[in-house]
Structure 1
Amino acid sequence: MHIRSGKSQLTTISTTRKIQIAIALSSVIFTVGTTLQNFVIINTSLIEKMMWMENVADPAGAAPSFTMWFRVVGCLYILGNSVGILALRSQSRLLWWTVFMVNITQAFGFVLIPSSMWSAVIATYGVWGILPSLITDGGAIFLVLVMIHSMVKYRGPWAQHRLSQQ
């Protein structure tokens, strides 16, 4: 398949399909993991426990609002992750960069979320409670590294080969 891009032509190679499948499969896994984290593991009582650990003045009063906004952000990541499933059918630059940005920001989940959240999750659910985040955040790091490697090696997204001009 040839794609015209300005003065040069791009053609897909076997690696292109592998990148598409890796992105789509990762997106399915990350969508499921983020959904589990957002709606099964995180709840108001867990957030209240986290706030008690942080010595927040009124955990019972602050937890419902925090939980709602935490879930709003989680829903944005669910949507962002699910967009990556389109990689099975599309090689658009917009899709590539959307997947890249969603995953590069998701990769910072363990750093951006307060450590007391992880302590509260482990206290409530054990190590199994952090598994969805570990998979989504850790997997996002790996996917971003694969995408960066591909962009450097092929000088652009989707592991496409530039045909020489004649």
Structure 2
Amino acid sequence: MTSSTTEPGSQVPSRWTRPLQLLTVVCSVVFVIGTTLHNFLIIDVGTVTEMMRLAGSTPAEAQMSAPGFVTGFRIVGCLYIVGNAIGLLARAGHGWVFWTVLGVNVTQAAGVVAIPPEVFTATRAEFGPAGLLPSLITDGGAAVLTLILVGFLIRYRRPWAYRNAGYQRNGHRPLTR
């Protein structure tokens, strides 16, 4: 079937569709691992107690508040783990997967600026520089993936860099006989 006989409005992959989907799958694997490490290994009651103390809480206040904060943090972290895992479905090419991946990564990228510096100070004190890697990789990587996804969305005006089957590369309709 040639592009001139394809139904109007149908989509076909561009040369960037599969690489973009593969990048999303690879990033999603990395982000699931990083978020899981951060959620269950790095952020614990001790780290949060120290973070709260550094932020100005008294030791008694920090000790009392930390367990509830960790519970809430882990609930949110689990939502991000599930959200990042949806990115593993990117190769299927569904629009809802694209929009979910974009939403998850936009909000996860906000962690770069939204996380208080005390979290990084407490994490570095307890785990050394290696303890910072899961957060920096997932949040920083999410920012980069977001920019890439938005760039292709602007260029192709469709999720996953699909193009309209009724148009040639130069944007004009093909001649029909």
Instruction: Tell me the TM-score normalized by structure 1.
Output: 0.92
Structure 1 counterpart SS, 2:29: helix
1:83 and 2:86 correspond: yes
Structure 2 counterpart SS, 1:14: coil
Q: What corresponds to 1:35 in structure 2?
A: 36
**CA RMSD across the alignment:** 1.8
Please list every run of 5 or more consecutive structure 1 residues that lacks an aligned counterpart in the other structure. Answer: none
**Shift of residue 110, structure 1, vs aligned partner:** 2.4
| Alpha-carbon displacement from aligned partner over 1:94-136 (angstroms, at most 9, x marks no partner) | 1110000000000011222221111100111111111111111
Please list every run of 5 or more consecutive structure 2 residues that lacks an aligned counterpart in the other structure. Answer: 167-172
**Shift of residue 46, structure 1, vs aligned partner:** 0.6
Contact 2:8 2:165 in 1 (8 A): no
**Shift of residue 35, structure 1, vs aligned partner:** 0.3
Aligned-partner Cα distance in 1 for 2:62–2:10: 58
Instruction: Tell which deviates more after alignment, 97-106 or 49-58.
Output: 49-58
Contact 2:35 2:135 in 1 (8 A): yes
Structure 1 counterpart SS, 2:93: coil
Aligned length: 162
- Give the AA of the match of 1:49: E
| Alpha-carbon displacement from aligned partner over 1:22-75 (angstroms, at most 9, x marks no partner) | 111100000000000001111001100111111224111100000110111111
Aligned-partner Cα distance in 2 for 1:149–1:15: 12
- Give the AA of the match of 1:135: I
1:54 and 2:55 correspond: yes
| Alpha-carbon displacement from aligned partner over 1:128-156 (angstroms, at most 9, x marks no partner) | 11111111111111101110111111111
Q: What corresponds to 2:113 in structure 1?
A: 111
Aligned-partner Cα distance in 2 for 1:69–1:46: 15
Instruction: Tell me the TM-score normalized by structure 2.
Output: 0.86
Aligned-partner Cα distance in 2 for 1:53–1:158: 43
